């Protein structure tokens, strides 16, 4: 039995609604990072954070159908070269991003709402 993340939400309210839909359909799930995302809202969406809905791997297809998320939408593709060899993370400009995080922690300055960035391992572009 493996537990997987089915979706990340920006706030607890959205995640709770989706959790209730899954529970009503008989799919057991729980929320991860629920409290930390409320306390540290300025870091929402950065470094794969946010409220995460976790389910059992065997319920993945049923949960995707209930949440109206197709398997194709969960697979990220590069908009430039159409490759599916894509990863999330700091990308090519990693030093500046980590420096910004370090400075924000040292001086207690919130970063604002940073979006999760993806980069293509084939063409090297960020999006």
For 1-71, the fitting CATH number among 3.30.300.30, 3.90.1150.10, 3.30.70.1530, 3.40.50.720 is 3.30.70.1530
Query: Which pTM does this prediction carry?
Result: 0.53
Distance separating alpha carbons of residues 105 and 31, to the nearest angstrom: 26
What integer pLDDT is reported at residue 28 of this predicted model? Answer: 93
Confidence of residue 71 (pLDDT cuts 50, 70, 90): very low
Q: Left (φ > 0), alpha (ψ -120 to 50) or beta: where does 125 sit?
A: beta
pLDDT, one tens digit per residue, over 36-67 is: 777 666 555 555 567 889 999 999 989 988 88
Residue 90 has pLDDT above 90, yes or no: no
Mean pLDDT of the residues in the chain:
78
- Quick one: CA torsion of 32, 88, 61, 58, rounded to 10 degrees? -60
Q: Take residue 127 and report the two structure tokens written for it.
A: 């999006």
DSSP state of 116: P
Strand (E) or helix (H) holding 14:
helix 12-24
Q: Where do the structural domains in the chain lie, given as residue ranges?
A: 1-71, 76-127
């Amino acid at each position: 039995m493996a537990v997987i993340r089915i979706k990340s939400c920006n706030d607890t309210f959205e995640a709770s609604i989706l959790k209730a839909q899954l529970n009503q359909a008989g799919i057991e799930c729980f929320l991860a990072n629920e409290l930390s995302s409320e306390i540290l809202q300025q870091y929402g969406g950065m470094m794969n954070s946010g409220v995460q809905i976790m389910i059992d791997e065997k319920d993945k297809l049923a949960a995707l159908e209930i949440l109206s998320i197709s398997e194709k939408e969960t697979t990220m593709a590069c908009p430039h070269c159409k490759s599916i060899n894509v990863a999330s993370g700091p990308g090519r400009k990693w030093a500046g991003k980590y420096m910004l995080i370090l400075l924000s922690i040292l001086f207690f300055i919130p970063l604002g709402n940073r979006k999760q960035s993806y980069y293509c391992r084939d063409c090297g572009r960020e999006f």
